[in-house]
Structure 1
Amino acid sequence: MPSSRRRTTRRSAVTLAALVTGALAAGLLTAPTAGAAADDDGVRIHDIQGTTRLSPYAGKQVAGVPGVVTAVRGFGSARGFWFQDPDPDKDPATSEALFVFTGSTSPDVRPGDAVLVSGTVKEYYPGGENAGLQSVTQLTGAQWTVRSSGNALPAAVELNARTLPFRYAPDAHGGSVEKLPLRPDRYALDRFESLEGMRVSVRNAPVAQATSQYHDLWVTADARHDRTARGGVLYGAYADPNAARVKVASLIPFAERPFPVANVGDELTGVTAGPLDYDNHGGYTLQATELGSLTDRGLKRETTRKQRRSELAVATYNVENLSPKNPQAKFDRLASALVTNLASPDIVALEEVQDDNGTGNDGTVDAGVTLKKLTDAIAAAGGPAYQWRQINPVDGRDGGQPGGNIRTAFLFNPARVSFTDTAGGDSTTPVTVVRDGGRAALSASPGRIDPANEAWQNSRKPLAGQFTFRGKRVFVIANHFNSKGGDQGLDSRFQAPSRTSEVQRGKQAKVVNAFVKQLLAADRKANVIVAGDLNDYQFSPALSALTAGRVLTDQVNLLPVKERYGYVFQGNSQVLDHILTSPAMNGRKRTDYDIVHINAEFADQASDHDPQVLRWKP
């Protein structure tokens, strides 16, 4: 039987946005004062939530709203509690729960408390309204009365293939879906919104993204849909963003239950349950008050085979903001991977190599110390005595972390390949295609491709190098296209979401495609490899522009479908890095391509990207 006690509390709070960042609109947080919830005005939670994403009571005061406390967030600057009406209406579009925001003050309630709550209804936009995300309907400046304790919590709604529609979101042709009537039986985003704040659960849920440094992970509530060869969830088309992905965080005190450290393919066995929250780092999030046990499926890091004497091995690896300020352990791990897991490739195209003082913004642009630390670590790990070639960028012009001056660079093993050093390459001089001995050659090696082109504004410029392997001339172009920063998320309130960054990548792809065409015009049998972090999918417009005219073949498309990924974001295993080859390099059994899974699926990472390697037989 619930105990019969009454407790009155008043909380006035600012919005979470004001506490997280002073750049957002703020209110004032006051100390709690004694008081009771106002008289019941007959409004229930489902009335407040309504049948769209926006509350019909937004900006209004409500009084005496009944419900049972289901969970409390008593830490951080976004404290408060969720309460849910145990007497729901019959409309599946209306959520039966609300979050009561108390700012940095912990609320004096416990799960199972039956409460009457009064306050102001607000729509809170994580990250600010301009971020384009969904809003969370919540109560602020709240007063509440605890009427009894020890009440049973409402049953959790299980998220699974039956309860989550395959279709992800309604199409508003790029406009907002906020005012559209929710159709939870048709769209997964509508289903999630109809459960906002309510107790939900997943059962025996496969882990789709490893535990992050913030103690969260992603699972899939549909164990059969688009699984990768190693247990992840494959993102293979814009039309199918995998509707059953859910982020899992925890409301359980860490001392009581440390958050599980999981890799992709592991499982949260049993029931994981809690209120369905929404944030700006992944959208709909199950805030667990009950965590399933971790079942370790034993995911192992891959090791690719060694290239044969007759094969040229070319790899690409985004080393994630590598600088001398990183711990030596990072250099050692990258070196070990290059030597052991990638079997010491002959040529390596590196991305995100920072200058010698990392993010120190004092005009330093050279990366000699960074690259020496890496090559020394490789030698210490038993690898080749790699040499490097790179071109320093103009300070502050290539994007990335401020002061870092990230760039692409080549490592190569002089015992296996030779680099053609041709003077004239610098940060602003464009490399051109010339003819040498009846064959294509570079006017400068290394050289930057069209660095003044507006396509490369605040972005890395492609680095072209001329190599020789077993008497064959090989051109390698190292790339790092602009990031997806500024794009609207898959869970945006604007549907279909805008991918504004795609425009610049399309321009970049056309520049590189045109340069490859110049090489092939000078020698139709030229051996050209385009490699790097292109920050886009194999099915994207940018990759279509890069391969236009059939001048390049994207090797990822030659892999089995379940193996086409090397990066994991919000539970989607996807492709961002690529190796492409010119027509003369392709043909039966001439190329062997491998994405080597050593980072992206693991909680313990040396980089957030998996490297990849192409072996080519002339």
Structure 2
Amino acid sequence: MNSSIGNVGALIFILALLPASQILAATSCGSPATPISEIQGRADSSPLAGHRVTVEGVLTLDARMRGGFTGFYLQQADAETDENPETSEALFVYTRKKTGTPGERLRVTGTVKEFHGLTELVNIKTIQSCGPAGLPEAQFLSLLQPGAFESLESMRVHIAQPLTIIDSWNLARYGELTLAVSDQVVPTEYQEPGPKAAADAARNQQQRLLLDDGRGVRQPTPIPWPPGGLTSTSTIRSGDSVHDIAGILDYRFGAWRIQPERPPIFSTVNTRPSAPPRPDTPHIRVMTMNLENYFNGDGEGNGFPTTRGAPTTKAYKFQHKRLVEALQQPDPDILAVTELENDGYNETSAIAQLTRALGPDWSFIATPGADGNDQIRTGLLYRHDRVIAVGQPERLTNGPFSKQGRPPLMQAFRPRGQPSSIQVVVPHLKSKSCRGATGKNQDTNDGQGCHAHRRSEAAQALVQWLGQLPKTSAHVGTLIAGDLNSYYKEAPLHTLKLAGFTSMVHHFHPCSAQQCDHYTFRYKGEKGTLDYALASSSLVPRVLNASTWAINADEPRALGYKANLPGTAALPWRSSDHNPVIIDIRF
């Protein structure tokens, strides 16, 4: 009898005694399989999309838990890679089948699919366990750019250098933080609008990575970052650093992200600052702040939700307490505010209620009938025990502000015991939102966003108006303090600069692409200034200092008044979404 025939017969006899599942495993594990690198290929999309394949690799991260991504990540064992740095050795297996745990070798048969940029195996036919296996070694990810990401898609990676948190907008919503090698500055903050500014903004978008929480649920509880959950005291700020980041490099929901194998280490770099101290020299302090839609319902504790602002009475009380704290701590003499409810001046109005909360030494400027038709307006509040309102207030209600927009407000003030006075002007120009943008107001892709034309016209009208306002012999200058919705190198600021107005924060603290320590806003991971204290040429020599107070823009949105997290105190942090600007003027 031929020995080979005898061996085959013996094998058939043995297999006949085994269950069918064990026969399949015994004959399949270790058999030829399609290398994962061939499925991934060198391009963005798989060359085998639509093909049924069998792969064999190590389960590295399981995302089949409740609220997970319904699948797991499978990576080729180190000894089986193609050693080509341009091809990934891992992919995502989309399945509800429960076979396998991290560190287990699996043999999987399914169909290759490109799902919104992520290479997957779907319609899984079989998953077979091939026993325990060591996890593939994590690859070092040193460059945050698409080319480096694509070649490591779905693989275990480790990021050696610390990364900077640049955005926490989706922290409470999806458990995400946006990271980059360093903080990113809005290009039109330091260079003229145009193709280069637009290209730099696009590059900023590419050179970043999300830290995810490994789940696909909305409003995760607890909020995952920092480890242990976000609270008002255990928190993070944009500008803080994260290091020892290790996990799976994933592409999901249109962005590259890390699904961590273990919590990374968070380090506080951007500490919460104290309010700037007042100088010893006799002066007045002006503070301008966007109040993020301060609406007080019916003014008697009810009337929520309002058209903007707090959705409930509880949220309003939370907003109110934090705003009062933020406005009081720097000890200003004059407050120039924006995004204040446009609801008149009686005792139940938003401005009256805010003024009463600041204390008996505070008063507000009223311009009934001239505030425009917008739901929000600008406002001026002042310490009447320190400064006196001189003459009548004025609002610009013609030109671009005749039928739309928020009419700028002007009032002259002089310190008690001093003959000199200054004009304080509060503008709030149209936002960059593209809602309703048509014709010249559409985004021209030069970095300024939508409604740039309308903001430019408003700045020109503001300059013309200021030139026509009467000034007394005691007048020493004009201060424009408000929200221009324009970064420093954009057209409205250029118009005001030509008219002799200097941004005093930029005078003392100029911004560059590499460093910008004083800013008022963060948007989609970039920081810059939208709020200004602009001094006329005669006023500039009198300015002692000017700065922003970083209490809001770097704080997670989840700490804001609409989220109303339990245990939050009446602190200034995240009292708004804009940082205030503070300027001290010598008399």
Same fold (TM over 0.5): yes
Say which of 334, 345, 348 aligns to 2:335: 348
> For the residues of structure 2 that align with 1:497 and 1:56, how far apart are their CA atoms?
37
Amino acid paired to 2:520 = G
Q: Does 1:520 align with 2:467?
A: yes
Q: Secondary structure at the match of 2:320?
A: helix
Q: Does 1:145 align with 2:135?
A: no
The corresponding residue for 2:41 is: 50
Q: Does 1:413 align with 2:383?
A: yes
- Residues 411-462 of structure 1: CA distance to partner in whole angstroms, max 9, x if unpaired? 333333444685xxxxxxxxxxxxxxxxxxxxx72444634579x6xxx534
Can you give the 5+ residue segments of structure 2 that lack an aligned partner in the other structure? 1-18, 23-27, 192-196, 297-311, 436-442, 560-573
Say which of 202, 218, 221 aligns to 2:159: 202
Distance of aligned partners of 1:293 and 1:518 in 2 relative to their CA distance in 1, 3 Å threshold: closer
Amino acid paired to 1:291 = P
Say which of 110, 116, 122 aligns to 2:114: 122
The corresponding residue for 1:556 is: 505
> For the residues of structure 1 that align with 2:389 and 2:97, how far apart are their CA atoms?
63
Q: Does 1:508 align with 2:455?
A: yes
Higher mean alpha-carbon deviation, 114-123 vs 244-253, is at 244-253
Q: Percent of pairs identical after alignment?
A: 22
Say which of 528, 531, 548 aligns to 1:574: 528
Amino acid paired to 1:83 = L
Distance of aligned partners of 1:94 and 1:206 in 2 relative to their CA distance in 1, 3 Å threshold: closer
- Residue 303 of structure 1 deviates from its aligned partner by 0.9
- Residue 314 of structure 1 deviates from its aligned partner by 2.2
> For the residues of structure 2 that align with 1:392 and 1:6, how far apart are their CA atoms?
86
The corresponding residue for 2:71 is: 80
> For the residues of structure 2 that align with 1:550 and 1:315, how far apart are their CA atoms?
23
- Residue 280 of structure 1 deviates from its aligned partner by 5.1
Describe how 1:255-294 pairs up with structure 2 within 5 A. Answer: 258-259=228-229, 261-264=235-238, 266-269=240-243, 271-279=244-252, 283-294=255-266
Distance of aligned partners of 1:452 and 1:205 in 2 relative to their CA distance in 1, 3 Å threshold: same
The corresponding residue for 2:549 is: 596
- Residues 46-82 of structure 1: CA distance to partner in whole angstroms, max 9, x if unpaired? 3343333344445x24322343322233343743322
Q: Secondary structure at the match of 1:241?
A: helix
- Residues 104-135 of structure 1: CA distance to partner in whole angstroms, max 9, x if unpaired? x68654322333241351341xxxxxxxxxx4
Asked whether the equivalents of residues 552 and 583 of structure 1 are also in contact (C-alpha less than 8 Å), the reply is yes
- Residue 274 of structure 1 deviates from its aligned partner by 1.2
Q: Secondary structure at the match of 2:362?
A: coil
Say which of 137, 145, 148 aligns to 1:155: 137
Say which of 212, 219, 226 aligns to 1:249: 212
Amino acid paired to 2:406 = K
> For the residues of structure 2 that align with 1:320 and 1:52, how far apart are their CA atoms?
45
Distance of aligned partners of 1:7 and 1:300 in 2 relative to their CA distance in 1, 3 Å threshold: farther
- Residue 555 of structure 1 deviates from its aligned partner by 2.5
Q: Does 1:387 align with 2:364?
A: yes
> For the residues of structure 2 that align with 1:234 and 1:204, how far apart are their CA atoms?
28
Amino acid paired to 2:256 = Y
> For the residues of structure 1 that align with 2:520 and 2:349, how far apart are their CA atoms?
28
The corresponding residue for 1:329 is: 318
Describe how 1:158-557 pairs up with structure 2 within 5 A. Answer: 158-159=140-141, 163-164=142-143, 188-203=145-160, 205-209=162-166, 212-214=171-173, 215-220=175-180, 222=181, 238=197, 239=200, 241=204, 245-251=208-214, 258-259=228-229, 261-264=235-238, 266-269=240-243, 271-279=244-252, 283-296=255-268, 299-306=271-278, 310-324=282-296, 325=312, 326-340=315-329, 342-343=330-331, 345-354=332-341, 369-379=349-359, 384-389=361-366, 405-419=375-389, 445-448=394-397, 450-451=399-400, 460-470=405-415, 471-484=420-433, 498=445, 502-520=449-467, 527-539=477-489, 541-547=490-496, 549-557=498-506
- Residue 96 of structure 1 deviates from its aligned partner by 2.9
- Residue 145 of structure 1 deviates from its aligned partner by 0.9
> For the residues of structure 1 that align with 2:269 and 2:284, how far apart are their CA atoms?
35
- Residue 317 of structure 1 deviates from its aligned partner by 1.4
Amino acid paired to 1:200 = V
> For the residues of structure 2 that align with 1:7 and 1:121, how far apart are their CA atoms?
27
Amino acid paired to 1:615 = D
Say which of 34, 53, 58 aligns to 1:63: 53
- Residues 243-290 of structure 1: CA distance to partner in whole angstroms, max 9, x if unpaired? 764332223997896347333454445x22111234559x32212121
Can you give the 5+ residue segments of structure 1 that lack an aligned partner in the other structure? 9-36, 125-134, 166-187, 357-363, 399-404, 423-443, 487-495
Cα RMSD of the aligned pairs, angstroms, is 4.4
Describe how 1:2-81 pairs up with structure 2 within 5 A. Answer: 43-58=34-49, 60-73=50-63, 74-76=65-67, 78-81=69-72
TM-score under structure 1 normalisation?
0.65
Distance of aligned partners of 1:266 and 1:557 in 2 relative to their CA distance in 1, 3 Å threshold: closer
> For the residues of structure 2 that align with 1:123 and 1:355, how far apart are their CA atoms?
48
> For the residues of structure 2 that align with 1:49 and 1:497, how far apart are their CA atoms?
37
- Residue 593 of structure 1 deviates from its aligned partner by 0.6
Distance of aligned partners of 1:598 and 1:137 in 2 relative to their CA distance in 1, 3 Å threshold: same
Say which of 69, 93, 104 aligns to 1:113: 104
Asked whether the equivalents of residues 387 and 414 of structure 1 are also in contact (C-alpha less than 8 Å), the reply is no
Distance of aligned partners of 1:94 and 1:592 in 2 relative to their CA distance in 1, 3 Å threshold: same
Distance of aligned partners of 1:526 and 1:612 in 2 relative to their CA distance in 1, 3 Å threshold: same
TM-score under structure 2 normalisation?
0.68
Amino acid paired to 1:512 = A
